Amino acid sequence: MAPKLLLTFVIYRLISTVGLTLDPTDLLRLEVDGHLSVDPSDVKTASVDFGMMNRAEPLAVLHPSSAEDVARLVGAAYGSAHGLSVSARGHGHSINGQAQTSSGVVIEMSASKGVRQWGLPRVSEQSRYVDAWGGELWIDVLKTTLEHGLAPKSWTDYLYLSVGGTLSNAGISGQAFNHGPQISNVYELDVVTGKGELLTCSEEQNSELFHAVLGGLGQFGIITRARIGLEPAPQRVRWIRVLYSNFSTFTKDQEYLISLHGQPPNQKFDYVEGFVIVDEGLINNWRSSFFSPRNPVKISSFGTNGGVLYCLEVTKNYHESTADTIDQDVEALLKRLDFIPSSVFTTDLPYVDFLDRVHKAELKLRSKGLWDVPHPWLNLFVPRSRIADFDEGVFKGILGNKTSGPILIYPMNKNKWDDRTSVVTPEEDVFYLVALLRSALDSGDEAQSLEYLSNQNRQILRFCDDAGIKVKQYLPHYTTQEDWVDHFGDDKWTLFSKRKMDFDPRRILATGQRIFKPMAASSW
């Protein structure tokens, strides 16, 4: 079907389904080199996300072949009498419908059905950066950069996420204490604003847009290219886990390790994370399969306080040429920590295998039909000064002795984050990520049901509010503007709103976030 004929169909579908009165002539001028689709399978894919708790069918799906395609679509929507909403979708890993729209077009930024419409990431070995398409998956960025002996500095735990998707939030993992989040390692962006302008931005050029888009939840523009800093890639990783039964000792050691960020490489770990174990019996789950089923580890064997264990997870990167010193470096760091002596678990593996560790677990879950299920995840930034209260109230209180997925906890240094970006963090020098990455299962166990886990999330948020723990949601989800204002705080909300007026004045981008009312909509 010719693009103009197809777009006419889309427009009149909008008129009939939403009741808007549009003048289609502006949009009829749209011509793209990619593919504008109303195929039911494309629409169905774009209507759901990883969270599987929201469904919204777009009127059409654009598979762009270039940044110009994205700019043409957004520009046409912006220039129409009422406007269509436009949402960019990467790998569809949102939790609460943030990349969905029922009154416009979804742009599938990542390769669909294995069809790549754009070029591979381009690496500059001399300047140590990679230029990547906004819809490129981080696993493919890694594969390309490794061909040059280089790799990005900061990661997410799961690599099958899009570049634009993680940069629109922050992008965090165990390297963030040292290198900051992914948004702190970006040199330059190409962005399509809500006006349909394709602009290059950086610290020096269009800097207000640059800082707005980083952590901006898709509100100010669609990232079509990112220039990401690189470093020499290590060859291997020493991966270590140790256990604690005392929370204050656990957090003391975590905070000590992240305080070493300014030390020489051989005097600090390269990755610091941790997780909470509240389940009875075996520690193993999809995130902690590190422990061998042939050598089961039981909570009861470590004399826990309140039935809770805490696992510190660290790594040391190295090259085969320095393998003779890795044991010495690791031992020097571990001897300063106060973990349970009998609880040291160590493995050694290639760098790529460590970074891609969650994908291997994904494949196992997919084979058992346990991946495509609802994911009522809750990610919180908790101030360091209140993390002990959070432990007492949530880990030892609300959660009981059952959970339905991993619970991550690790600290980060605020000085590695740029306050000029749109992301929001607690006002303390050190804050913790607490990520309850739970899956809702139809197993007959009420504690694994979507309703139970969703209610528990609300209970956790109420506890924090009642206790005066000023948490900030990471990958935030709110349903009222009052809650969004509270999330950002008055000063940052004023800046956020101004940036919205500057770069997306008709509020047509990323309406699934429910931050601003679309100009053409009378309700959420």
Could you give the CA distance from residue 318 to residue 336 in angstroms, rounded to a whole number?
A: 21
* Start-to-end CA span in the chain (Å): 33
Q: Of 136, 190, 253, 273, which is the active-site residue?
A: 273
- In our burial notation (b when 16+ CB lie closer than 10 A, e otherwise), range 445-469 reads eeebbbebbbebbeebeebbeeeeb
Could you give the CA distance from residue 394 to residue 435 in angstroms, rounded to a whole number?
A: 12
- For 44, the token pair is 């169905």
Write a three-state SS string for 467-512.
Answer: HCCCCEECCCCCCCHHHHHHHHCHHHHHHHHHHHHHHCCCCCECHH
How many residues are given for the chain?
Answer: 524
Could you give the CA distance from residue 221 to residue 510 in angstroms, rounded to a whole number?
A: 9
273 is catalytic: yes
Q: CA angle, corner 288, sides to 452 and 359, nearest 5?
A: 90
Number of Cβ within 10 Å of residue 100's Cβ equals 26
Cβ distance 421 to 183 under 8 Å? yes
Could you give the CA distance from residue 363 to residue 466 in angstroms, rounded to a whole number?
A: 40
69 is catalytic: no
Q: CA angle, corner 510, sides to 58 and 25, nearest 5?
A: 60
Q: Nearest Cα to 362, choosing from 320, 406, 297?
A: 406
Cβ distance 132 to 143 under 8 Å? no
Amino acid symbol at 223:
I
Q: Of 35, 82, 91, 93, which is the active-site residue?
A: 93
**Which DSSP symbol is given to 233?**
P
Distances from the Cα of 498 to the Cα of 85, 201, 259, 493, angstroms: 20, 18, 36, 8
Q: Of 68, 157, 418, 428, which is the active-site residue?
A: 157
Q: Would you please indicate which residues are annotated as catalytic (active-site) residues?
A: 93, 157, 273
